[in-house]
Chain A
Amino acid sequence: EAGVTQSPTHLIKTRGQQATLRCSPISGHTSVYWYQQALGLGLQFLLWYDEGEERNRGNFPPRFSGRQFPNYSSELNVNALELEDSALYLCASSTGQYSNQPQHFGDGTRLSIL
C-alpha cells in the first residue's frame, strides 16, 4: 500500500511569489492535514480537509489556503511568500472525519524563500 505522497520535494521561491504544494493521501483515507515544521518550532497545524471541505484551520494568515479534490488529494497554496514561510510542509492523512484514527505523514515539501 502506497503511503502519503507529497510533491515537489523541494521548492525555492522568492519573496512575494506564490507556492503550490500537493499531497496524495493513503488510499481509503478521506482526511488530509497540513502542518508547518519550521526549525525548532515543532509541528504547527495549518489546515484540515475532509470530504472536500475545510474542517479546521490553525493560527495562520489567510494567505495560507488550500483545497481538497474529489479524489481526496489536496493542495496547499501560500500567497505573498515571506522569508519566515521557509519550512518543511508536511501532509498527513487519516480515515474518518471524527474518529481518533492515526495520522500518517508524507515526506514533506521543503519550501525555501530567498
Chain B
Amino acid sequence: GENVEQHPSTLSVQEGDSAVIKCTYSDSASNYFPWYKQELGKRPQLIIDIRSNVGEKKDQRIAVTLNKTAKHFSLHITETQPEDSAVYFCAAKGSGGSNYKLTFGKGTLLTVNP
C-alpha cells in the first residue's frame, strides 16, 4: 500500500522566515495531495491541495510543489507568522482498490518564534 514519509518532524523558525516541509510517497499512481494544518485541540483544516496534473500551486503565503518523477511534494510557507504555529500533515491519495484512500504523513510541528 501507499507509504508517506514526512520531514522534518519538528521545525522552528523566526517570524518572517520561510518554512519548508517535505513529503515523499511510494505509490506512483497517487494523484491527489492535500496539506492539513492542525492547531492544538482543533480539527485538521485543509490549507492547500494539488492534483497530479499540476506541478505547483500557490495561495497567498502558502505554496505546494509536486515532483511526480521523484514522488515527492513540498509545502512552502513564506513570511511566517506566530499564528502559523501548528502541526502540518501531508497526505497522498492512491488510485484503485485498497489504495483508494488518503495516507497521511506523521506530521511536522512548526513553531514560529516572534
For residue B50, which residue of chain A has the nearest CB? Answer: A100
Chain A residues with CB below 8 A from B106, complex form: 40-42
Chain A residues with CB below 8 A from B25, complex form: none
* A105 and B51 contact, CB distance less than 8 A: no
Determine the main DSSP class of B at the interface with A.
strand
Q: How many residues of A contact B (CB 8 A)?
A: 22
Fill in one digit per residue for A85-114: 1 if any B CB lies within 8 Å of its CB, else 0. Answer: 000001000000010101111111000000
* B100 and A43 contact, CB distance less than 8 A: no
Q: Which of B89, B98, B100 contacts A42 (CB 8 A)?
A: B89
> A residues near B, CB below 8 A?
33, 35, 40-45, 48, 55-56, 58, 90, 98, 100, 102-108
> B residues near A, CB below 8 A?
31-32, 34, 36, 42-46, 49, 51, 89, 91, 93, 98, 100-107
